[in-house]
Structure 1
Amino acid sequence: MDKYTKLHMVTQGGYGTIYKATSSRGVQVVLKEVILANQEEEEVQVTRKEAQLLSSLSHPHIIRYVDHWETPDLLTIAMEYAEGGSLEKVISKRESHFEETEALKIFVEVVAAVEYLHRKEIIHRDICARNVLVCSTGVIKLCDFGVSKRMRSVRTGSLKGDPSHFAPELCYGGKCSEETDMWALGCLLHHLLSLRPLFKSPTIAALLVTILADPVPPLPPSYSAALESLIFSLLSHEPWQRPRARVLLSHPLLSLHLQSLHLAHSSLQPSSI
C-alpha cells in the first residue's frame, strides 16, 4: 500500500513487526504488520480482532486507530505513533521515584481509558506498563487490544495477557472480568511507584504461587498512606472489594487530576492522517 512510507523497524514479536512510518500527509504513524504465512490462524484472528476493536474506540487515552488492510500475504494495522515509547521503558530508565502527583497524573489517564472500555463492556485483559504508551506531549495512551474481549464472550479458563498481572481468581482458573482489569491496574500502579514489577518469578507456575501467597510489598516511604491504601484496595484477593474504574476516578487522589484532564481534552485536536 503506497499511502505510508516505512522509516524503520521499532520492534519484532510473536504477532508481527512494528514499523514507524509516515503518511502521505507527513504524519507519523505506527504500522503493525503480520506475515500471514508465518502465523497460525488463531494468531491472525487476534490481529484482525484488534483492528476491528480499535476502529470502534475513540478516547483521548486510547491509541488512535488510523486504518487497516489485508493482502494475500500481509495484514497491516496503522495506528497513532507515540513518540515517548512504552511506560515500561520510561520506568526502566528512571533513576529516582516519581513524585506522587506525577505518578497519579499518569495513572488517572490509564484509569480513564479503562473506565471507557468497561462502559462499553470491553475487558482489556493485558493492562501493564508495556501496553501503556507516552506521546511527545506527555499524554498517556493505552494500547494492544489483541486479547481484549467483550464481557459477554469471556469464558472460564481463557487466560491471556501478562501472567505477572494475573489476578488471584485467574490463577485458580476463573474468568477475566472488570475486577481482573482492576487488579492489573493495581499491579501497574505499584510498578510505577516502586520502579519494579510487583510479581516476578522464573516460571509461570512459580509466578502464580507468588501471586497467591506473597504479601504486597510496601511502597517507598515518600508516598502517602492514602496512596498505599488505594493500591491495597485494588490488590484485594476478593474481587468484589476492588473498586470499579468509575468509582476509582472519584477517589480524592485521582479526582483533581481528572478535572485537569477534562480541561485539557477540550483543547485536543487529532492530527489529520
Structure 2
Amino acid sequence: MLKSATAIAANLLERPLKIGKVIEERYEIITCLGRGSYGISYHVFDRIKQTPVVLKSLRVHKRILKSGKKAFEEEQKLLQSINHPYFPIYYEKGNMGRIPFYTMEYVSGKTFEQLIFQEGRKYSEKETFQIGLELLQIMKWLHQHGIIHRDIRIPNVMIENEKLRLIDFGLACTYNDGVTQQLDRDHIKRMASPISDFYALGHFLLFLLYSTYEDNENSPKKSWEEELALSGHARLMIRKLLAIDEPYRSCSDIEHDIVNLLSQ
C-alpha cells in the first residue's frame, strides 16, 4: 500500500528535466523519451563523444529504497554483460547530485507502439508471426545466457534498419535453467522463468493482430478469440503462449510451431 502511494505521488510530483539542460557539463537534454516504473529516459547529446545517446535516471520513489537502488545497479550490470546487436550498448554511469544515472546507445528506430498507434501500420497474421519468429530469436539468445527480460511489450520492441532491437532491461533478471518453477498464472508476468517471456510474446502478437481489427462500438464486448479471424494454428499458439492451455516450455517448441504456421 505504501509503495503504491509513493509511486502515485512520484508520478504527480516528479517532473522530467527541461530540454536544453546540461548534465555533468556533458549531456544536453534533447527530449524526454518516457517514464517507466524504475527510471526516466532521455534522448541527450553527448558533447564529448559528439553523438546522441540515451540517459536513464533512477526515479525518486526508487531512490529512497535500498531495493530500488540495488535493482538499478543490477540492471546496469546485466546490460553490461550482454554484447549483441539485438540490444543497446551500455556506456557509463554517473550522478546528478543524488540522482544516479547511466548512459547507453540511442536506438534511432521506431517502436511497434509508434508504428501501430501513430502511423497506423497493420499486420496480417503471416506478417505478425514472421515478426514473432525474429523476436523469438532475441528471446532465445537471452534465455541461453540465463536472462529473462520480463517486459517484452510493443513500446520495448523497435525496428531499426529493418532489424528488431529489444530495449529496457529494468525488469530483467537472471535465472537457473536447471531449476523448474511451478507455474503461477496469477504472477506469470514476473516469474523468473522463460514462461514469463512467452506470455509477453503472446500479448505482443495480439497487439499486432489487432492492428487489422475494425471495432464496432455498438457490438458487445468479446474475447480475442471471438473478435480476431485467426487460423486454428495461430489461435492454438496464442493460447499456449498465454498459458490458457498447457504452456510452451522452450523457444524451440515455439519456433517449430511458427515455422509450421508460416509454411501453410
TM norm structure 1: 0.68
Aligned partner of 1:97 among 122, 142, 160: 122
Show the counterpart of 2:250: 244
**Matched AA of 1:139:** K
Shift in Å, 1:38: 7.1
**Matched AA of 1:21:** V
Show the counterpart of 1:231: 238
Partners of 1:115 and 1:128 in 2: CA distance: 16
**Matched AA of 1:143:** I
Q: In structure 2, do the counterparts of structure 1 residues 171 and 252 end up closer, same or farther at CA, with 3 Å as the change threshold?
A: closer
Q: In structure 2, do the counterparts of structure 1 residues 219 and 78 end up closer, same or farther at CA, with 3 Å as the change threshold?
A: farther
CA contact under 8 A between 1:35 and 1:75: conserved in structure 2? no
Partners of 2:226 and 2:74 in 1: CA distance: 39
Tell me, what secondary structure is at the counterpart of 1:29?
Answer: strand
Shift in Å, 1:5: 3.3
Which of structures 1 and 2 has the larger relative contact order (alpha carbons within 8 angstroms, sep 6+)? 1
Shift in Å, 1:182: 0.9
Partners of 1:182 and 1:113 in 2: CA distance: 12
TM-align CA RMSD:
3.6
Partners of 1:173 and 1:79 in 2: CA distance: 26
**Matched AA of 1:34:** L
Partners of 2:188 and 2:27 in 1: CA distance: 45
**Matched AA of 1:140:** L
Aligned partner of 2:225 among 217, 226, 244: 217
Partners of 2:49 and 2:190 in 1: CA distance: 47
Partners of 1:145 and 1:115 in 2: CA distance: 16
CA contact under 8 A between 1:37 and 1:73: conserved in structure 2? no
1:126-165 CA deviation, whole Å, 9 max, x = no partner? 2222222333x232222221222211499x89xxxxxxxx
Bigger Rg, structure 1 or 2? 2
Could you list the runs of 5+ residues in structure 1 that have no partner in the other structure?
Answer: 158-166, 197-213, 258-273
Q: How does 1:1-273 map onto structure 2 within 5 Å?
A: 1-23=24-46, 24-34=48-58, 39-41=63-65, 42-70=67-95, 73-93=98-118, 95=120, 97-135=122-160, 137-152=161-176, 169-171=185-187, 175-195=191-211, 216-218=224-226, 220-221=228-229, 224-239=231-246, 241-253=247-259
1:194-216 CA deviation, whole Å, 9 max, x = no partner? 139xxxxxxxxxxxxxxxxx965
CA contact under 8 A between 2:143 and 2:194: conserved in structure 1? yes
TM norm structure 2: 0.70
- Aligned positions, number: 227
Tell me, what secondary structure is at the counterpart of 2:155?
Answer: helix
Shift in Å, 1:193: 1.1
Could you list the runs of 5+ residues in structure 2 that have no partner in the other structure?
Answer: 1-23, 213-221
Partners of 1:7 and 1:187 in 2: CA distance: 32
Identity %: 24
**Matched AA of 2:102:** I
Q: In structure 2, do the counterparts of structure 1 residues 65 and 173 end up closer, same or farther at CA, with 3 Å as the change threshold?
A: closer
